[in-house]
Structure 1
């Protein structure tokens, strides 16, 4: 085994499941310093309601309607303290009062999107692995929330609260946002109660950020800090256009906001919520292709003027791409009107498209332009090892979390390994990431499955386990 190179990480407010609310008072100092004798200053009068006959613009009327829909989400997780002495009965007898568990608390935000049903939208990372979720309303009421479902790859979660007399927020059309539109962020930063910040839309369709899932972010300079996660990004009409999810600061998220905030578009959130309400899970579609980035040499050989796009390296049998006539060697330059600069960009667009939807692809084949329409088929969510090869019996495989893929890792994840199974006997374990195999090259679960149409004589897997790499010979 050899250590894996450390992955480049972003300073994200989203990174640790909400803001850990502790020690806040230590940063506040209300002591008065000695000062010279006070100078008489005229008392400031209230701001006028109008100037030159024109009303003074204010966000207050809109916010009075919207802020009751933004809530505080507090989570608790019981974590077992890992101490080898606790495994010793003699030690436990000598020190019976030493705690073997601790409770981690974190604080985030949420938005009531259905007042009648008590549905609250928040980030997956805010409630991930929580044993208890409490929601505090703007009027001070606190209640336990029921978990309905979540999608880690888009960082969306849906919970329900049993309260009456709730105020919901109207979902706006995030596709209508333009760079320069004014927006307002509402949440609970750093453990403070409800806080409002404002700014503009700095960019739309932001993607290519390492360490996050499927990406189509709204970027804003409205301050988004730890604790804002899951809160509301609204337009000047008080409509929800985004769910605040992360902020970027090279010095670390706790260093504060530098005007690079990210929000999940409301249209994407609406699609995820609809699936969670109906099915409890999110089902994704797939084109059924593998692709790779273009080098300058490949681009020249394919008659392209620039090395951008996704080069199709494999078309899976029975896929929507195969039915549409896509071939290995085609280069995808645009998908549904969105520019495709790389294989990862195409994968991101594909992952955000619905099952059964049609994707218009602009291709280059032998240097000539070509338009095709591909219907996305349902992506398998898990594959049992014994359906692939008897040597994998007892193991279940799933696609990697999208956050790992965005960090540059490809392969499949071992989701479960049954005790005493053939896979377990060969050393395969839950949590292993399989990056290579003698069965053939693969990038995801679909191509991993396709490789076993003809079983290899010897099955060798290259795996990542924790911070080490190794290989297993499956018997």
Structure 2
């Protein structure tokens, strides 16, 4: 006798059916119907106890985004699975043995099915083998047994969930004024103004308008967006998913990470918010969704995967997530979402024209949400981010520099200049020093030093291990407050 275990659902309690092993192969999924990237059906089996054919309906929808192609490769938290009710399922002594056997058998069969339908992965076969069905059910019950309230999402479900918290941001800015000239009328107006004692010549002011995106993170109307979306703006307007428009004010902004925090100017009103996730847990290859306002096309949803992590484009504070989800001008400030509907990044930049007529495609960048969390905490409290500052100009230690300075390796940061009266100058650091360690953290690359120092608040006393003329010395240093620049300079941004 073999055990066939079905996951619990809201309408059908988990049950164990005793089926003869010879008849296990005859289990089939019938009454297949496709609705919005999901399928529903029933299981037909032979019940030995009643000696008759039985049919067990699957009342929950199976979530199957590219099912045949993804099943053998994705980690358990990305598998399509059934909704599990809050009622705890009964434990059986032989459960683990049965589960291991069925999962191995199921994966073997699913690989065969996948190869057969690889060329048409978006088209589902009309009949599934028992192994494929069991794998889907078991992955759901095993992967989420500890948290029965986990809810699976298809792309459509994620888009529907995040939609109310994504906003469109439009800004306007006065970029200058010019003197009206070049015709007789303007010259006469200027002469009249001078005759009557009004020396102000007629001018015409220009206003620049731009579009971006943002995501609501608190019911009081706090919104995360990019600094380059709202910097120098005279007016900020926010449009919600239901087309309501509000004025917004800047709470704080950070040039280094290109993050800004704004708030809707509307009292006694609560707004739908997004759930912030954990960007450290995201892995290369996992599905992500970008939502934003590209070219003014509100609430556009695109999908892709995480292509890479820890990308550095320009400065030491860069730590981007790279994705091939389509990001275009206007997406800036919008959320990057994982398969469970959590915001794991803020879309920021794209690679544009490379050289000649070559354009990059499928290369977009997002700021990890774990970095954003720390930034917005300071923005709410201080209006800016307070970072520890050493007060030096540094460069990478190359092989040539290591040989000329008689260094054992290429790790560390070479000091090429010292800011006068800065923290390093006051501590006695000089040009030509090579900083090898900050407190207990080794400096592998020069870019590590400012990033590590910035994680400590100004006023913190630290110790630096320095190589000077071949000798290693320890220098105590009190971090200063990082001076903020006025404008952000991001390459290939909207």
| Shorter-chain TM-score range | 0.5 to 0.7
How much has 1:126 moved relative to structure 2? 0.7
TM-score relative to the length of structure 2: 0.57
The SS at the match of 1:271 is helix
* Maintained 8 Å contact 2:413/2:443: no
1:188 is matched with 293
1:32 is matched with none
1:112 is matched with 216
1:200 is matched with 305
2:445 is matched with 341
* Maintained 8 Å contact 1:356/1:375: no
The SS at the match of 2:181 is helix
Q: 2:365 aligns with which of 247, 262, 268?
A: 262
- Partners of 1:182 and 1:105 lie apart in 2 by 33
Larger Rg: 2
TM alignment of 1:40-59, pairs within 5 A: 47-50=37-40, 54-57=62-65, 58-59=154-155
Q: 1:178 aligns with which of 283, 287, 291?
A: 283
* Maintained 8 Å contact 2:290/2:347: yes
TM-score relative to the length of structure 1: 0.60
TM alignment of 1:366-385, pairs within 5 A: 377-379=479-481, 381=483
2:84 is matched with none
Worse-superposed segment, 182-191 or 355-364: 355-364
Worse-superposed segment, 119-128 or 80-89: 80-89
Change (3 A) 1:317 1:123: closer
Which structure 1 residue ranges, 5 or more long, are not aligned? 1-43, 382-397, 408-475
* Maintained 8 Å contact 1:309/1:341: yes
Asked if 1:122 is matched to 2:228, the reply is: no
How much has 1:301 moved relative to structure 2? 3.1
Higher relative contact order (CA 8 A, sep 6+): 1
Asked if 1:297 is matched to 2:400, the reply is: yes
Asked if 1:64 is matched to 2:160, the reply is: yes
- Partners of 1:244 and 1:333 lie apart in 2 by 34
1:418 is matched with none
Change (3 A) 1:140 1:403: closer
* Maintained 8 Å contact 1:213/1:402: no
How much has 1:360 moved relative to structure 2? 8.6
The SS at the match of 1:82 is strand
Please, what is the CA RMSD of the aligned residues? 4.3
Change (3 A) 1:101 1:111: same
2:116 is matched with none
The SS at the match of 1:230 is coil
| CA deviation vs aligned residue, 1:401-442 (integer Å, no higher than 9, x gap) | 6749x99xxxxxxxxxxxxxxxxxxxxxxxxxxxxxxxxxxx
Asked if 1:151 is matched to 2:254, the reply is: yes
2:351 is matched with 248
How much has 1:66 moved relative to structure 2? 1.7
The SS at the match of 1:198 is strand
Change (3 A) 1:132 1:81: same
* Maintained 8 Å contact 1:155/1:213: no
- Partners of 1:237 and 1:267 lie apart in 2 by 17
* Maintained 8 Å contact 2:37/2:63: no
Change (3 A) 1:75 1:403: closer
The SS at the match of 2:261 is strand
Q: 1:82 aligns with which of 170, 175, 178?
A: 178
- State the aligned residue count: 341
| CA deviation vs aligned residue, 1:206-257 (integer Å, no higher than 9, x gap) | 11x24x68312111111111000010012222222211111012259x9987
How much has 1:195 moved relative to structure 2? 1.1
- Partners of 2:324 and 2:284 lie apart in 1 by 11
